[in-house]
Amino acid sequence: MKVTIDNITLEVEQGTTIMQAARQIGPEIAPPAMCYYEPLKASGGKCRGCLVKVTAGSEKDPRPMPKLVPACLTQVQDGMIVENTINEEVLETRRGIVEFLLLNHPLDCPVCDQAGECHLQDFSFEHGVSNTRTAEERNTFEPTDLGPNIQLHMNRCILCYRCVYTADQITDGRVHGVMNRGDHAEISTYIGKAIDNDFSGNIIDVCPVGALTDKTYRFKSRVWFSKPVEAHCDCEKCSGQVTLWYKGDEVIRVTGRKNQWGEVKEFICNTCRFDRKKTAEWTIDGPTQISRHSVISANKYGVNLIQPAFPISQAARDYKLINDDRDRSFLRDQIKLEAKK
């Protein structure tokens, strides 16, 4: 079936969502996703950040949908026409969504370990505004330990439910969830429980913000000062496919390998994540490919740098070589006088 997104037509299989179709075109067209996580079943529909305008429902019924629809949940119909980045109503709605997500969010990016790879930072930069209308007091929480290696900063949480779905689907038993309701909802463990199963560290990888952090990595380095390298090991519990983050010769962090959408390809165990921090324990596969737009790639991957054609052509057109045919004999006399002094 055919679908048109921002005037780009492509063919997709039946059952494909608008989000999946847009991602086939590329990151410039794909809607932002704060709660949707393709490897996790039933994820999506919480943050409303991916709302798009369907101007034609299908070829058989070309009437537009009356409201904006979430791209992560809405399936494509044959002949559907979708507007994302070219629709002003969509862009205005996203500005409002960013404002809601930041209502209780602290402005602590300079001290947050997620800075530089935070999806909320990207969302706010692309669609947010520079000021806030919030006059009420913000909800605040103290950092709490969810387990021996995981710390929760509830002030930064946007209630995307990714960590809840991850614990449900890849662990034997979930011991945390969303407590209370409405404006007082928060992530917490059950009474007397701690998150300590073999795959609990994956909730750190799926968190789109800095709410869940690795206690073995906290405040060790900014992400743009570290170098990611892909590696693997023979692990009995998981695939052993990881990304090692180096600061100099030291492995300061181990994460699962992620795709271009920031989604983990294969979940890894806590032994690989927290205990194996020596290069000798890994087989290095090569440097991780990072988008040239990311701060992580700054001054690291020369092969990925693209020389922009526009400024080069402009420089060639507007700037000329200086004529050096002028007489400079007086400079030699001046140099001799300075040398005698």
pLDDT single digits (tens) 45-78: 999 999 999 999 999 999 999 999 999 999 999 9
CATH of 118-215, one of 1.10.10.2840, 3.30.70.20, 3.40.50.1980, 3.40.50.720: 3.30.70.20
Assign 232 to helix, strand or coil: strand
Buried b (16+ CB within 10 A) or exposed e, 120-140: bbbbbeebbeeeeeeeeeeee
Task: Please state the rounded mean pLDDT for residues 146-157.
Answer: 92
Say if pTM beats, i.e. exceeds, 0.75.
yes
In this predicted model, which residue has the larger pLDDT, 131 or 154? 154
Judge whether 118 and 109 are in contact, CB under 8 Å. yes
Phi, psi (rounded to 5 degrees) for 312: -70, -45
pLDDT band at 305 (very low <50, low <70, confident <90, very high): very low
pLDDT band at 295 (very low <50, low <70, confident <90, very high): confident
pLDDT band at 107 (very low <50, low <70, confident <90, very high): confident
- The ranges of the chain annotated as CATH 3.30.70.20 are 118-215
Q: What is the CATH number of domain 2-101?
A: 3.10.20.740
Looking at 36-172, which runs of residues are DSSP E strands?
A: 51-56, 69-70, 80-83, 144-145, 150-152
Judge whether 1 and 14 are in contact, CB under 8 Å. yes
Task: Please state the rounded mean pLDDT for residues 184-189.
Answer: 90
Q: How far is CA 222 from CA 23, 75, 152, 248, in A?
A: 29, 39, 19, 13
- The ranges of the chain annotated as CATH 3.10.20.740 are 2-101
Tell me which range, 103-107, 181-185, 268-272, is most confidently predicted by mean pLDDT. Answer: 268-272
Q: For residue 241, what pLDDT is reported?
A: 95
Residues in contact with 206: Cβ distance below 8 Å, sequence separation at least 6, in sequence order: 37, 40, 162, 163, 166, 264
Task: Please state the rounded mean pLDDT for residues 222-230.
Answer: 91
Task: Please state the rounded mean pLDDT for residues 201-207.
Answer: 94
